[in-house]
A and B are shown apart, each in its own frame.
Chain A
């Protein structure tokens, strides 16, 4: 077996030669994403989800696998809780419409069901923080009150809370990339400048679109995209602005995973299982990891085919199942706390 370690392997990926080139690349990407999102928000949303939803999930899956230690040891409880919690919460999220229909459809029922799911998700993260804190001997007494504050917010404004997750989730990828750029401080400085510029870019987008009329399309896809961006919840704001903002953040999110992470996070080609610690446990584990990567690639292709066949339905199904990758990030963010 090829004995390559993620920390020791040489950089084999093509990379910008200088931080200036890297910064210029970032600037062009962010600027182009903002301009196209502002000019054609719905079309851009359709295109980026079609093209990058699958690949970014595959690369993220590969990255998170590489962050998992070969042997869990003292972290067994943490990872068991993380995996079962993420799977259980995803199943609960997918079943939520069925549960609500059992209670009787209506806004209060939806609100309570969503708030209850949010509560379980927050409780899961709080327990993860407690388990990890005990493991590394760190005071995590803040986790319970912070979690309770989040629970209060979830019950106070369940739909707003969910919308907050939609807008904040894309930013988590930026944190992962920043973490990986620790080994490239010259790039990291440029990257952080680009990050600091993001609020200004969003502000410019808002200024440009604040007085524009809402999108007029009444087809299923446009309505779904507008709903996803919060048009139903924020009727006083142009849906064009909301969709453009969400599309821009989503594009940055996909760019972080699909372009920056392969540059910054993987020292060997990311489709190879050899640098995943789990694969070094045994031959079986190596085969399983390689199989998982192949299955991920197959799912990515299947997603493209489904999008091409029925975009609206596939988008609905995708954004329901995609909660798994939102949840899967939480344990790794928790573990990064020192």
Chain B
């Protein structure tokens, strides 16, 4: 087999490298994001924090603003708050259906007034009263959840030794430690 001359070999290597460079150079860039993620404004991710002292024996409580729940991405704006655990759609449909039920029920009662006897009315009233009073009694006397244990405040009692209310603005972050909320306060300025 005839040996390739050095110049031919170098030329072939140069061609290979050139082709490779061209190939890599022609690879399309990954598509640029259409919009850069919003940079939080200076006042975003901040919330007013109030530290209060409760009564003796009370468990420590952390109250979060409504509509603020774990998993909410910072800087995207607040999620629409839910009223009483119902979403906006559920609230609208429930209210509409309930209103229409009352309206159409009224029409039906008016139309069939002659047939509606005192006995039926009394029966319905008794059933309603029994149901309402039973539900009120049961709900009012409902025991706390079975797995309920008072939260131990630990050494948090020392956070506000004088009982004075402390107020300030804090910037909040989402941590990665599940089940742990941290409050970092600046140390007292040296006098």
Q: Give residues in A with beta carbon < 8 Å to B.
A: 108, 111-112, 115, 119, 139, 141-142, 144-146, 148-149, 151-152, 155-156, 158, 214, 235-238
A155 vs B95: C-alpha distance when bound (angstroms)? 9
Task: Give the docked Cα–Cα distance between A141 and B98 (Å).
Answer: 16
Given contacts A112-B87, A236-B143, contact A151 B104 (CB under 8 A): no
Cross-chain contact A115 with B93 (CB below 8 angstroms):
yes
The distance in angstroms between the C-alpha atoms of A249 and B150, with both chains bound, is: 36
Looking at the assembled complex, report how far the CB atom of B12 sits from the nearest CB atom of chain A, in whole angstroms: 55
Additional pairs, 14, CB under 8 Å, beyond known A156-B86, A236-B142, A236-B145: A108-B90, A111-B87, A112-B87, A141-B107, A142-B105, A145-B105, A148-B100, A148-B101, A149-B97, A151-B97, A152-B93, A152-B94, A155-B94, A235-B145
> Could you tell me the distance in whole angstroms from the C-beta of A129 to the nearest C-beta in chain B?
13
- The 3 closest A-B CB pairs, nearest first, are A145-B105, A148-B101, A141-B108
Report which of A142, A235, A238 forms a contact with B108, defined as CB distance below 8 A.
A142
Contact B90 A115, beta carbon cutoff 8 Å: yes
Query: How far does the alpha carbon of A148 sit from the alpha carbon of B95 in the complex, in Å?
Result: 10
| In contact, B90 and A111 (Cβ under 8 angstroms) | yes
| Cβ contact within 8 Å between A156 and B108 | no
Kindly state the separation between the CA atoms of A233 and B161 in the bound complex, as whole angstroms. Answer: 41
Give complex CA distance A152, B100 in Å: 10
Chain B residues with CB under 8 A of A152: 93-95, 97-98, 101
B26 CB within 8 Å of chain A: no
Chain A residues in 8 Å Cβ range of B86:
156
Q: Are B146 and A237 in contact (CB under 8 A)?
A: yes
Q: Are the C-beta atoms of A238 and B146 separated by less than 8 Å?
A: yes
Size range of the chain B interface in the assembly: 20 to 34
Q: How far is the CB of B118 from chain A (nearest CB, A)?
A: 18
A149 touching B108 in the complex, CB below 8 Å, given contacts A155-B90, A155-B93: no
Q: Does A158 lie within 8 Å of B104, measured CB to CB?
A: no
> Is the Cβ of A148 less than 8 Å from the Cβ of B104?
yes
Q: How far is the CB of A120 from chain B (nearest CB, A)?
A: 13
B89 cross-chain contacts in A, Cβ below 8 A: 112
Closest B residue to A122 using CB positions: B97
With an 8 A cutoff between CB atoms, is B191 at the interface? no
Interface centre among B89, B97, B107 (most CB of A within 10 A): B97
Find the B residue at minimum CB distance from A112. B89
B111 contacts partner chain A, Cβ-Cβ < 8 Å: yes
In the complex, what residue of chain A is closest to B93 when comparing beta carbons?
A: A155
Give the number of A-B contacts (CB < 8 Å): 65
Query: Which residues of chain B have C-beta atoms less than 8 A from A145's C-beta?
Result: 100-102, 104-105, 108
Chain B minimum-CB-distance residue to A239? B146
CA distance A158 to B115 in the complex (A): 35
B145 engages A108 (CB within 8 Å): no
A230 to B: closest C-beta gap in Å: 14
Q: In the complex, what's the smallest C-beta–C-beta distance from A241 to chain B, in angstroms? A: 10
Which residues of chain B come closer than 8 Å to A115, judged between CB atoms? 90, 93
Are B146 and A236 touching (Cβ within 8 A)?
Answer: yes
Q: Which residue of B lies closest to A234 (CB)?
A: B145
**Are A235 and B97 interface neighbours, CB within 8 A?**
no
Closest residue of chain A to B92, judged by CB?
A155
**A139-B115, A156-B86 known; A151-B105 Cβ under 8 A:** no
B78-122 CB mask vs A (1 if < 8 Å, else 0) is 000000001101100111011011101101100110010000000
Confirm or deny: B61 has a beta carbon within 8 angstroms of a beta carbon on chain A. no
Selected contact of B97 from candidates A111, A141, A148, A214, CB within 8 Å: A148
Residues of A within 8 A of B97 (CB): 148-149, 151-152, 155
Most chain B beta-carbon neighbours within 10 Å: one of A112, A119, A149: A149
**A–B pairs, 8, beta carbons within 8 Å:** A119-B93, A141-B108, A141-B111, A141-B112, A142-B105, A152-B94, A152-B98, A155-B90
Give the docked Cα–Cα distance between A115 and B89 (Å): 11
- Which residues of A sit under 8 angstroms from B111, Cβ to Cβ? 141
A158 and B146 contact, CB distance less than 8 A? no
Q: Is B147 an interface residue (CB 8 A)?
A: yes
In the bound complex, residues from chain A placing their C-beta under 8 Å from that of B142 are: 236
**Nearest neighbor of A145 in chain B, beta-carbon distance:** B105
Whether the Cβ atoms of B98 and A139 lie closer than 8 Å is no
Task: From A112, A151, A152, A158, name the one whose CB has the most chain B CB atoms within 10 angstroms.
Answer: A152
- Please tell me which one of the listed residues B93, B102, B108, B112 contacts residue A151 in the complex, with CB atoms under 8 A apart: B93
Chain A residues near B146: list those with CB within 8 A: 214, 235-238
Task: Considering the complex, give the chain B residue whose CB is closest to the CB of A211.
Answer: B146
Chain B proximity of A153: nearest CB distance (Å):
8
Within 8 A of A (CB), among B48-102: 86-87, 89-90, 93-95, 97-98, 100-102
